[in-house]
Structure 1
Amino acid sequence: MVAKVRIREELLDYLLELARNAHPNEFMGFLRAKNGVVEEVLIAPDIRPGPTSVFFNTWMLPLDDSIVGTVHSHPAPIPDPSPQDLWFFSKFGGVHLIVFYPYSRENVWAYNSEGSRIEIELVP
């Protein structure tokens, strides 16, 4: 089970910017890692964002072994995963970030696939 996620600082700041730009709607993406560090976000095509959910067609997602999890935003100051989030977490990797309003570094929480909170380590 994953106990910590290592993520590039620059990517975390980019995810915060994506959340701010999508507000008041949610955004979502897939996290890519190299050598144990999350370095990129893949924004899936054909995403339909809304204020309480994001829909995308999983058939549009490429086969990609570097995907280690997901990221999405909550336009409200609620960091806890919903039942739908937990279902989604169980399908795509072991690391999941929720970026929540007001979108500062303190407003990014990480979870494992079971929905337990895990530590975030920033990598320069």
Structure 2
Amino acid sequence: MERVRIRRELMDYLLELARDFYPNEFAGFLRERDGVFEEVLIAPDPHFGRGSAFFNPWMLPHDESVKGTVHSHPGPNPRPSGADLSFFSKFGGVHLIIAYPFVEESVRAYGSDGRELPIEIVD
């Protein structure tokens, strides 16, 4: 994947979620339709703490439209941690990190190999 395409409404909602959960992290799964991320799914019974977010992916129904993940960092660093990179390599797809102060400029996208990908917002 060369670029990550995401609907404006979803981007705005993800930023709002990050602000609402602050100072804790939040995490979810991203649904894609026709090459554009359009929805987020929050796994049942998640744990969102100040230094990590945990959810059991086995709690989600099988959904072939899930092509990525998203999580927030309560600090200003949008770079993936070692734990993030390990998760990326196991889950695959696209991974968004939303860093404090939770504005569009603090969102980064990464491939499963940890390589940063450009983001395109579509209306």
What range is the shorter-chain TM-score in?
Answer: over 0.9
- 1:111 corresponds to which residue? 110
Return the alpha-carbon distance in structure 2 between the equivalents of residues 73 and 95 of structure 1. Answer: 14
Return the alpha-carbon distance in structure 2 between the equivalents of residues 29 and 6 of structure 1. Answer: 17
- 2:29 corresponds to which residue? 30
Aligned residues: 123
- 2:56 corresponds to which residue? 57
Return the alpha-carbon distance in structure 2 between the equivalents of residues 118 and 36 of structure 1. Answer: 14
| Percent identity between the two aligned chains | 63
- 2:73 corresponds to which residue? 74
Residue 117 of structure 2: SS of its match in structure 1? Answer: strand
CA drift of 1:62 comes to 1.4
Alignment of 1:81-100 (within 5 A): 81-100=80-99
Runs of 4+ residues over 4 Å off in structure 1: none
Q: Which runs of 5+ in 2 are unaligned?
A: none
Q: Which runs of 5+ in 1 are unaligned?
A: none
1:28 aligned partner, one-letter code: A
1:20 aligned partner, one-letter code: R
Any idea what the Cα deviations from partners look like across 1:22-68, whole Å, max 9, x if unmatched? 00000000000000000000111110110010111222021110011
The alignment yields a C-alpha RMSD, in angstroms, of: 0.8
Normalization by structure 2: what TM-score? 0.97
- 1:40 corresponds to which residue? 39
2:20 aligned partner, one-letter code: N
Report if aligned partners of 1:70, 1:93 keep a CA contact under 8 Å in 2.
no
